[in-house]
Structure 1
Amino acid sequence: MALLLYRLGRFSARRAWLVIAAWAVIIGMVGGAAALFMGPMSNNFQIPGTETQQMADKLQADLPEASGGTGSVVFTSTDGQPFTPAQQTEISQVLASVTSVPSVKNVIDPFLTQESLAQAKAKLADGAQQLAAGEAQLAQGKATLDATSAQLAAAQTQLDAAQAQLDAQAAQIAGLPAGSPQAAAASAQLAAGQAQLDAQKATLAPGQAQLADGEAKYAASVKELAAKKVELTTGQRSAEAATGIKFVADNGKAAIGQIQFSESMNAVTPANRQLVQDKLNTLDSSGVTVNYSKEILEDVSSLFGIAEVLGIAVAAAVLIIMLGTLIAAGLPLLMAVVGVGIGVGGTMALTGVIEMSSISPMLALMLGLAVGIDYSLFIVNRHRQQLLAGMEMRESIAKATGTSGNAVTFAGLTVVIALAALSVTGLPFLAVLGLAAAATVAVAVLIALTLTPAILSLMGRKVISKRAWAKSVVAHSKHDAETAGLSVPERAAADQSKEVRASAKGWGGLVTKHPVISLVTAVVALAVIAIPAAGLRLALPDGGSEPVDSSAFKAYTITGDNFGEGMNGPIIVVGSLPAGLDQAGATALNLDVADQLRKVPNVKAAVPVTVSKDLRTAVYQVIPAEGPASASTVQVVHDLRAEGTAIKTDLNVGVGLTGQTAANVDVSAKLGAALPPYLAIVVGLSLILLILVFRSILVPVLATAGFLLSLVAAFGGVVAVYQWGWLGGIFDVANPGAVLSFLPIILIGVLFGLAMDYQVFIASGMREAYVHGQDAKQAVRTGFKHAAPVVTAAAIIMTSVFSGFIFSHLTMVRPLGFALAFGVLIDAFVVRMTIIPAAMHLLGKSAWWIPKWLDKILPDVDVEGAKLEAPAPDAASHGTLGKQDATIH
């Protein structure tokens, strides 16, 4: 590998303009592709196959009018007083005008909605009064009907008794002799009595008919009153279900409007988002302040902000101090910018065909800048030292590429593999993120190996300042004077002795003089820093994590203060109703489901929203007690799903959850589950690669253990700052909350790669000194002395670049920037430059032990570039300088 890279470096130096032209063409092609094919980015973290995605697909199919994204608009009066009627009217008019914006489906006017709710409430109260009056009137009518019925029954009884008497008389008359005067007189009397009785019966019939009509009307009234009672009860239950939902604050000083889009929020273009804001911002002149939820404001089209520029400025300052010339310092920066331009440009070009989260190009930008600067710096630094030692320029470029470039290739490979391994998590957005960043790092490696040598060839001696040249001449003269008259072996021995004395000084010497104290102190310190990591809680960001002065944060805060925090993160429940229901039955069943949903702890309201035309799919909105990222809301999501089993058993309704709040919980849970296997893959990978490179068992174990220490310490710092709020004023953390869900898994991949970078540059120098005959303990000091300056500069540069993202305009990136900056700082200075040298000094020769059978089967990757170490013509005259050149810096 070293020989191949040597030839690549020599070719790039000799054909500099050809290499530069090739990269210029690539830049032009990537830039053109980005301009032509770039599409909108999103923050869609859905995972196919989850319940939230299944329910979202069901809604799209069964209730398309209920699908699509929703954003909130929070109105407040500028003077802090309740809205005036004129302001309410203007808000309603402006909200109505928003429906003219493309992709806006509908708006919910807070004042019209609240008025409708008030009217419905008044109507329910009036209905209750009417129902009570109707029941009283019905009771009175029932008493009258009962009295009339009793009178008619008494009259009928009298008539029946009279008829019985007449019938008895008729029987007596039948016993008299026919034709007798007595019989004739009795018959006449009987006929008169019967006629009178029949007349009385005739007068009773209309009363009976009137009673029957009254009873029929009463029955109809009872039925009508029962229907009104059911309707009133349904209305009362609906009102009770919606009690926890308000659109206008009780004090009249704040109101929430909602905008429903015809497509998902991820598909709403920045132009349409801005059109919505432009229309609503006209209310400023009416004394109304408008703030928007995170969903409406979220524009991820901008990648670079002031904070990122400041981070690069610090990196530039470090380069200038280290390299001593603007030209030399500018080269690593230029290489990083070119690499980032190609890597991020290619990523942006793919956004038209691949759904990509906003953090994907941001991570690629962050890593591309950091590793791009460092990788180029390693080669430039090696080249400068070789030039100062007297090596011919192009030979120096080729050799720097074959030695430091070899280490750069391996270091870059570890980062690329760690990032690409994010694909095994089964999370599509994370796979895209990892591959985008891995591709950018790969480009940075290629640029360091080709474009850096080409430009170094054109720069010539200007890569070193005149002062550095003069200092080198003086040092060479002094060295020649001190070693004058000595033989070559004696000169080598003198140089060796001088190098040993020098290596005992500085930080490396201090650590190796007191290895036990250094090791124990560093490990204990990292363990203490890692303590907060035990309380790590994962979630996706909400409006409460936005900057304090942002509109999204204000909207989130105003909503929480006036309507309850749960209004910032409603949970959507989708119900599958049984077949055969009519409208009334579906309504009653939906209310039964809502009643059961409200039994879940920390549920403030649960209200049926709509039902499909076939009455088979229903939507319910659940308002939790706290915000979407709070621990209680996460528990509410789990409890609602658990309650679904009881709802299915009791009501024969299957329920599932969807919406952003439930989706965030699912994503966080999935990411948490993916963390252990991914960590195992990365740790296993680190052991295999380091065994291959260092041909040792204990060195890889130490390197991996150090990485784990760095990792948990970085987690501890993130939890302390972003979850507990420590130093929140410094890091602009106004509303501490759960840690970004995918931060841990990204941090593992990135920090592993970067930690292995420093491990390679530190330990390879130690191994080279040991292989060249130095005592194992002394080799630790020698290797540390050679590598420490460039590793220190590289770590400061990388930390500076990452630190710039701590105050990024994209708040989602901030904790990630902090985690990477803090992790790199700890890993470079505490683990690689304290724990590793202390532990290896204690281990001595056993640090390089490897089973013979394993040593035989391992391929020789020659990461130190030993095959290129042919003696230079003036090596003997330069002694120590030549020997130092053989070490990777």
Structure 2
Amino acid sequence: MSSALYRLGRAAYARRRAVIGAWLALLVLVGGGALLLGGKLDNSVSIPGTESQAALDRLTATFPEAAGTTAQVLVVGVDGAQVDDPAVATAVEDAVDAFTRVEAVTSAQSPFDTDMPGASAVSDDGEAALVTISLEGEGVAIGADVKDALRGIADDLDAALPDDYEATIGGQLYSQEFPGLTITEALGVLVAFIVLLATLGSFAAAGMPLINALLGVGLSTLLVLVAAAFTSVNSTTPLLSLMLGLAVGIDYALFIVSRHRELLAAGQPPQEAAARANATAGSAVIFAGLTVMIALVGLGVAGIPFLTTMGVAGAVAVGVAVVVSVTLVPAMLGVAGERLRPRPSRRARRAAADAAPAAAPAATPPAGDDWDLPPHHNRFFAGWVRLATARPWLTVVATVGALVALALPALDLRLALPDAGVQPTGSAARVTYDRITDHFGPGANGPLVVTGSIVTSEDPLGLMEDVADELRALPGVEDVPLATPNASIDTGIIQVVPTTGPTDPETADLVRAIRDLRPQILEEHGFDLSVTGFTAVGIDVSAKLGAALLPFGVFVVGLSLVLLTMVFRSIAVPLKATLGYLLSVAAAFGVVTSVFEHGVGADLLHVSRLGPVISFMPIVLMGVLFGLAMDYEVFLVSRIREDYVHSGKARAAIASGFVGSAKVVTAAAVIMVAVFFAFVPEGDINIKPIALGLAVGVAVDAFVVRMTLVPAVMQLLGDKAWWMPRALDRVLPSFDVEGEALHREIGLDAWPGDPDVVVAARDLRLAAADRSDVLHLAVRRGDALVVHADEPARVAALLLTVAGRLAPAGGDLKVDGLLLPVRAAAVRRRVGYVDLRTEAVDALDAAVAERPAVLAVDRTDLVTDPHERAHLTATLARAAAAGTTLLLGVVGAAPADDLLPDGTPVTTLAPQTGVLA
């Protein structure tokens, strides 16, 4: 991967104008598609398979007026004024008539109409009257024109009422408002720019991550809008993808630009620095981005459509950020050129001027290999890691204790779907909600609907009343104002008003109590009831989301263990990283609970009402924070591992690796926190707890877990931190996030020196042979190599290794200029391989037709038939004429030179040469 990114970086740098132009053109193209298709967002939150959703679907067919959406208009008297004033009644009746004429309205019930069962909606104190408006279809499907029309009539009613009365509109239809952006999100971007400027030291370098992120989020947001034309997309989805794309887009570009400047400071030419930065930091970016994407797509484990859509949209935003980062950033680096080369700091210039061979060190480092820092290291971060690792057990106990204390409030975490009660305090929907609570009780904001088939009943009205009496007797029921069959007498509904609000845990207990009555009511009355309605749907959604947390947690934790084991080739490091992630998640949950349920700092963060947090907060936070935690783990620990691989000193590598990466990790974390936190004070109520949880989680994970706890634990483990069973090491693929293979490839770029040498090997050890076998080769283009051995496995091992099908056990090997095993995939495309033990001679024809640079043919000694041998000779001659270098494998002393065209230079390897023996 690092080699591919290296070439991509060089190409993007060289063709910078084309790359930048292509991205801008794609942005315009997708934007045009979004405008033409005109996709609409909604707030649909439904879960197929739940009882409430199934009952609601049945009601849509049998009792549509009861299955639709409702709006509520509340008329209240100020300072005790009674609503039975004739002028009030007249104004309300006129408004009811106007409501019924609005498109999509199926009925509007006047609070003064006593002929309709359950329609009387005047409060006990006589100070409030409630108009209930029923509309056809789900609220998410009702257009803004209908909502605006209803608002206009409510405003007219408010104006027509006497001076001591007011009218407001709210209810289910207005329970959720579409989220939008505010100035605070722009402040988050401003903070990010300031941090980038302080970290990178130039306006040009600081602007690149912002441009990268803005282009990425613009493209991903437009893609979400395009998708909304073909599928249901929750209105929270684009805001979530915007938040994620903005944060990771800045961070990923920061990692690449920062590494580019490091390489420029080391004297690399700009194009080479950009390519190497793309290869090393870009590899980590791709791995980090993949972990975030996998975790977000893993939200589909819950089996909830709207959550799956959110996860996919977030994954697309992160994926776009990754692709833009590894292509657009090198192109922008090409535009900047030499202007990004950092000047030596004053301290470095002063140190260089005052340097003397006999100069005494400023401080005596500890004995042993604990400290091996670069001469001009960052003193702040050197002091940080020194403090964290001085007494590692104390650091571990202190940090874990602090995180557990932060996490304890999470024991009180309650989940629910938001209703109008969490809307901004001054909004009409919130005012209506609060006034209904004051005059009619909290349950009036979220009545339950009990429904079932009555097609077999001989007395449907009596049946409805009998079941209503059963429900009235349940604890937690405030009233049962309505029990009626539909017009075709095949479905009945009973409206149950709880004593508690829609998001209160006691309301959920009441729903469960009603469902527990089902067997009894079915036996006594033949009524197979189901509980539905807006409140019941929300309760079922929250319950299913809560149940999905455990399987999703297992998925995320298992994924992190596997991925990190592949990256770091260690057992202890992934375990430590995963436990740290769990601590970060728990701390984030604890802080969210403290703010949104306990009220700690709620006024400062403009939390309009304390209570349960949105149901999908935990699972979204777990998925996103997993990916971000792995980002910091990779960028910090991979640098430590890189230093450990080069020095072999585990504890010294902690200090040097930490100091080398802590600055950029700090900047990345501060940017993440700023971007996420910017969505909290004025953000949408659905995004607020998620944004706060992510801001806290990132801060805790970066500064407490990764930069404090991790060095302490690794200090305790020492060399054991990098232990891994050999069997597991062989099985797992390697990501090479640190770019070790690329460094090796660049280091061997000048070898073997002769451009005509197509197969070059030195100190090569074959994986399938005795590890003492050492091979040296130099086969020129157009020459032939004949390998003799008494054991077939030795011949096959060499040919398979040269063909890129088998990794060597050690040494250096290049085929057609490509280093193995780094470029094995490319070698396999250029080298043909035919095994005559399992393939006929005719298979050579297909291999030669592909015009390979090298053709390896094993077990030519098995071809003894004169006709087949003649065919083999002719085919090899045709390959040699096309410029293919031939490698022939022979077991025993059977001849092979007769198969080659006359005059072909031949190199022979045999046990007696001492090369393979």
Q: Would the TM-score normalized by the shorter structure come out above 0.5? A: yes
Distance 1:772 1:499 in 2: 19
Name the structure 2 match of 1:479. 352
1:719 partner letter: T
Residue 591 of structure 1 contacts residue 607 of structure 1 at CA under 8 Å; is this kept in 2? no
2:357 and 2:101 mapped to 1: Cα distance? 90
Distance in 1 between residues matched to 2:208 and 2:580, nearest whole Å = 32
2:390 corresponds to: 513
Match of 1:722 among 592, 596, 609: 596
* Structure 1 CA distance for aligned equivalents of residues 125 and 220 of structure 2: 53
CA shift, 1:729, in A, is 1.6
- Deviation at residue 833 of structure 1 after TM alignment: 0.7
Partner of residue 773, structure 2:
none
CA contact (8 A) 1:40 1:269 kept: no
Report what 1:525 is aligned to: 402
**Are 1:21 and 2:18 counterparts?**
no
Give the deviation of 1:263 after TM superposition. Answer: 1.6
Deviations 1:807-832 (A, max 9, x none): 24421111111111111111111100
Find the counterpart in structure 2 of residue 735 from structure 1.
609
1:704 is aligned to 578
How many pairs were matched up?
733
> What's the secondary structure of 2:478's corresponding residue?
strand
The reply to whether residue 250 of structure 1 matches residue 124 of structure 2 is: yes
Going from structure 1 to structure 2, the CA distance change for 1:714 and 1:302 (only over 3 Å counts) comes to closer
With over 3 angstroms needed to count, the CA separation of the structure-2 counterparts of 1:453 and 1:547, relative to structure 1, is same
Over 3 Å counting, the alpha-carbon distance change for 1:509 and 1:86 in structure 2 is same
Match of 2:135 among 244, 251, 261: 261
User: CA RMSD for the aligned pairs?
Assistant: 2.5
1:610: Cα distance to partner?
3.2
Instruction: Tell me: CA distance 1:608–1:644, structure 2 relative to 1, closer, same or farther (3 Å).
Output: farther
Counterpart in the other structure of 2:549: 675
Q: Which of 351, 357, 376 lines up with 2:253 in the alignment? A: 376
Q: Which residue in the other structure is 2:91 paired with?
A: 90
1:54 and 1:822 mapped to 2: Cα distance?
38
Larger helix proportion, structure 1 or 2?
Answer: 1
Name 1:329's counterpart in structure 2: 206
Instruction: Give the superposition deviation at 1:102.
Output: 2.4
Aligned residue type for 2:607: V
Q: Quick one: distance in 2 between partners of 1:380 and 1:538? A: 41
Would the aligned equivalents of 1:40 and 1:267 in 2 still touch at CA under 8 Å? no
Q: Would the alpha carbon gap of residues 349 and 290 (structure 1) be closer, same or farther in structure 2, given more than 3 Å must change?
A: farther
Distance of aligned partners of 1:483 and 1:273 in 2 relative to their CA distance in 1, 3 Å threshold? farther
Cα deviation, 1:735-785, whole Å, max 9, x if unaligned, reads 211221111111111110000000001100110111011521111111111
* TM-fit CA distance, 1:502: 5.7
CA distance in 2, matches of 1:337, 1:92: 53
Structure 1 residue 790: deviation in Å? Answer: 0.8
**Is structure 2 residue 323 aligned with structure 1 residue 449?**
no
1:314 maps to which of 191, 204, 211? 191
Identify the residue that residue 454 of structure 2 maps to in structure 1: 577
Other-structure match for 2:680: 806
Match of 1:428 in 2: 305
Asked whether the equivalents of residues 179 and 239 of structure 2 are also in contact (C-alpha less than 8 Å), the reply is no
Amino acid at match of 1:798: M
**Aligned-residue offset at 1:60:** 1.5
CA distance in 2, matches of 1:799, 1:504: 20
- What is the CA distance between 1:576 and its match in structure 2? 1.6
- TM-score, with normalisation over the residues of structure 2? 0.77
Q: 1:804/1:503 Cα in 2 relative to 1: closer, same or farther (>3 Å)?
A: closer
Quote the residue 1:355 is aligned against. 232
Q: Pick closer, same or farther for the CA change 1:640–1:456 going to 2, 3 Å.
A: same
Q: Give the one of 257, 275, 280 matched to 2:154.
A: 280
User: Partners in 2 of 1:568 and 1:608 — Cα distance?
Assistant: 15
Letter in 2 for 1:91: V
> Residues 340-366 of structure 1, C-alpha deviation per residue, up to 9 Å, x if partnerless?
111111011111221121221121111
Contact map agreement 1:710 1:826 (CA 8 A) in 2: yes
C-alpha contact 2:373 2:655 (8 A) present in aligned 1: no
Given the alignment of the two structures, is residue 45 of structure 1 paired with residue 53 of structure 2, yes or no? Answer: no
Q: 8 Å contact 1:38–1:350 — kept in the other structure?
A: no
SS at match of 1:861: coil
- Letter of the 2:345 counterpart: K
Alignment of 1:577-596 (within 5 A): 577-579=454-456, 581=458, 585-596=459-470
Instruction: Pick the aligned partner of 1:832 from 696, 699, 706.
Output: 706
Q: 1:531 to 1:501 in 2, by over 3 A?
A: closer
- 1:288-687 equivalences in 2 (<5 Å): 288-293=165-170, 295-297=172-174, 301-463=178-340, 469=343, 471=345, 475=348, 478-479=351-352, 482=355, 498=375, 505-579=382-456, 581=458, 585-687=459-561
SS at 1:106 equivalent: strand
More strand by share: 2
Match of 1:12 in 2: 12
> CA offsets, 1:183-238, max 9 Å, x none?
xxxxxxxxxxxxxxxxxxxxxxxxxxxxxxxxxxxxxxxxxxxxxxxxxxxxxxx7
Cα distance change, pair 495–718 in 1 and its aligned pair in 2 (3 A): closer
Contact 2:584-2:705 at 8 Å conserved across structures: yes
Could you tell me which amino acid in structure 2 is paired with residue 525 of structure 1? A
Indicate conservation of the 8 Å contact 1:503/1:509, yes or no.
Answer: no
Task: Quote how far apart the aligned CAs of 1:275 are.
Answer: 2.2
| CA offset digits 1:857-884 (Å, max 9, x no partner) | 33231100123336999xxxxxxxxxxx
SS at match of 2:680: helix
After superposition, residues 865-876 of structure 1 pair within 5 angstroms as 865-869=739-743
Give 1:78 shift.
Answer: 6.0
Q: Call closer, same or farther: CA 1:45–1:835 in 2, change over 3 Å.
A: same
Q: Which residue of 2 aligns with 1:106?
A: 107
Match of 1:789 in 2: 663
- How far did 1:461 drift? 3.5
Deviation at 1:671, TM superposition (A): 0.9
- Structure possessing the higher radius of gyration over alpha carbons: 1
TM-score, normalised relative to structure 1: 0.79
The residue identity in structure 1 corresponding to 2:269 is E
Following TM superposition, by how much is the alpha carbon of 1:36 offset from its aligned partner in structure 2, in angstroms?
A: 2.1
Q: In structure 2, what residue type is equivalent to 1:548?
A: T
Candidates 713, 728, 736, aligned match of 2:587: 713
Q: CA deviation at 1:116?
A: 4.5
- Point out the more displaced range, 248-257 or 775-784: 248-257
Mean CA deviation greater in 38-47 or 333-342: 38-47
Following superposition, the deviation at residue 528 of structure 1 comes to 1.0
Gaps of 5+ in 2: 360-368, 748-917
The residue aligned with 1:770 is: 644
Q: Which moved more, 1:845-854 or 1:538-547?
A: 538-547
- Separation in structure 1 between the aligned mates of residue 675 and residue 206 of structure 2, nearest angstrom: 15
Query: Residues of 1 paired with 2:248 and 2:16: CA distance?
Result: 23
In 2, the alpha carbon distance for the partners of 1:635 and 1:447 equals 49
**Where does the alignment leave 5 or more consecutive residues of structure 1 unmatched?**
118-237, 487-492, 874-889
Q: Are the equivalent residues in 2 in contact too, given 1:566–1:625 (CA < 8 A)?
A: yes
* Alignment CA distance shift 1:496-1:621 (3 Å): closer
The sequence identity of aligned pairs, in percent, is 41
Mapped to 2, the partners of 1:510 and 1:495 lie a distance apart of 16
The CA deviation at 1:664 is: 0.9
Aligned AA for 2:104?
A: S
Q: Write the distance in 2 (CA, Å) between the matches of 1:298 and 1:453.
A: 47
Distance in 2 of aligned mates of 1:524 and 1:787: 26
What's the offset of the Cα at 1:460?
Answer: 2.4
**1:117-168 Cα distance to aligned partner (Å, 9 max, x none):** 7xxxxxxxxxxxxxxxxxxxxxxxxxxxxxxxxxxxxxxxxxxxxxxxxxxx
Displacement of 1:325 in angstroms is: 3.0
Find the counterpart in structure 1 of residue 906 from structure 2: none
User: Do the aligned partners of residues 504 and 659 (structure 1) sit closer, same or farther apart at CA in structure 2, a change above 3 Å counting?
Assistant: closer
1-structure distance, mates of 2:175, 2:41: 10
- Which residue matches 1:146? none
Call closer, same or farther: CA 1:265–1:557 in 2, change over 3 Å: same
**Which residue does the alignment assign to 2:818?**
none
What letter corresponds to residue 93 of structure 1 in structure 2? D
Change in CA separation of 1:398 and 1:311 when aligned onto 2, cut-off 3 Å: same
Deviates more, 1:371-380 or 1:504-513: 504-513
Residues 374, 656 of structure 2: 8 Å contact kept? no
